[in-house]
Structure 1
Amino acid sequence: MKINVGGVDRIVRIVVGLVLIGLAATGMIGVWGWLGVVVLATGVFKFCPGYALFGMSTCPTDKK
């Protein structure tokens, strides 16, 4: 797995994932809230399969 999730993107994914999990756990939103686990995992592991599929990356590039 090559890292393809950059700094700001990573922070947003972690926060959104935690919020969705919290809302699902308290019953404020339905089962769809548990998708926050996937969003959280992509932020924690710095890898998004969707980005890899489309050849995208939010990581800064080396300027050599």
Structure 2
Amino acid sequence: MARNLGNLDRALRVVIGIALLSLLFVLDGGLRWIGLVGLVPLLTAAAGNCPLYSIFGLLTCPLRTRNDRARG
């Protein structure tokens, strides 16, 4: 699986993921489980690949250009 996330994008995903996961400890009742959504940005940041970016052809990783990706 090719990497399509740049370092800034990955760092922002980690911050957003941690903020969402903190809702598990801040909210009460059934709403607290919304914090589990924070696992998605954390997992995509750890993998360095976002499936939605692949679908829409987005690329924030500076290591690969669109021409490199077209070649395979």
Q: Same fold (TM over 0.5)?
A: yes
**How many residues are matched?**
62
CA shift for structure 1 position 61: 4.6
Higher share of residues assigned helix? 2
Long gaps (5+) in structure 1: none
Task: State the one-letter code of the partner of 1:40.
Answer: L
Higher-RCO chain (CA-CA 8 Å, sequence separation at least 6): 1
Identity percentage of aligned residues: 37
Q: Cα deviations across residues 1-50 of structure 1 (Å, max 9, x unaligned)? A: 11001010000001110111111x21427232211101110111100000
What is the RMSD of the two structures over their aligned residues, measured on CA atoms? 1.9
Off by >4 Å, runs of 4+ in structure 1: none
Long gaps (5+) in structure 2: 66-72
TM-score normalised by L of structure 1: 0.82
TM-score normalised by L of structure 2: 0.74
Computing the radius of gyration over CA atoms, which structure comes out larger, 1 or 2? 2
